[in-house]
Amino acid sequence: DTGVSQDPRHKITKRGQNVTFRCDPISEHNRLYWYRQTLGQGPEFLTYFQNEAQLEKSRLLSDRFSAERPKGSFSTLEIQRTEQGDSAMYLCASSLVSHPQYFGPGTRLTVL
């Protein structure tokens, strides 16, 4: 087990395009989280799953954002009609219930 992995590590896109990120959690972890981090700030919570169920969504997660975890394993985060304000590092974490969260390396998104 090599920990949480994210793909791609970097994504550059033009405003208005759709992008999709993938997160593969630690295999036995049933919880998976998405966070967004902008320069000079701490990560901000977006959403989390327990198994395949999406249990909570932050108000930061606008209608242009959608996350899925169809089989309770990997997850995808899609951003539709990207805006320059979406430029950030998107971090994924996984955990067992009531255990520490382990973070992946992040996907850095740049919207031109």
Partner 1 sequence: KQEVTQIPAALSVPEGENLVLNCSFTDSAIYNLQWFRQDPGKGLTSLLLIQSSQREQTSGRLNASLDKSSGRSTLYIAASQPGDSATYLCAVRPHGGSQGNLIFGKGTKLSVKP
The residue among 36, 49, 83 whose CA lies nearest residue 64 is 83
- Nearer of residues 79 and 90 to partner 1, judged by Cβ: 90
Q: Give residues with Cβ within 8 angstroms of 43, minimum separation 6.
A: 35, 36, 37, 91
Establish if 102 lies at the interface with partner 1 (CB under 8 A): yes
Establish if 105 lies at the interface with partner 1 (CB under 8 A): yes
Establish if 60 lies at the interface with partner 1 (CB under 8 A): no
Among 79, 104, 109, 111, binds partner 1 (CB under 8 A): 104
For 111, the token pair is 């919207």
Dihedral sign computed on CA atoms, order 53, 66, 21, 42: negative
Residues 68-97 close enough to bind partner 1 by CB under 8 A: 89, 91, 93
- Residues of this chain that interact with partner 1 (CB under 8 A) are 4, 6, 31, 33, 35, 40-45, 48, 50, 55-56, 58, 89, 91, 93, 100-106, 108
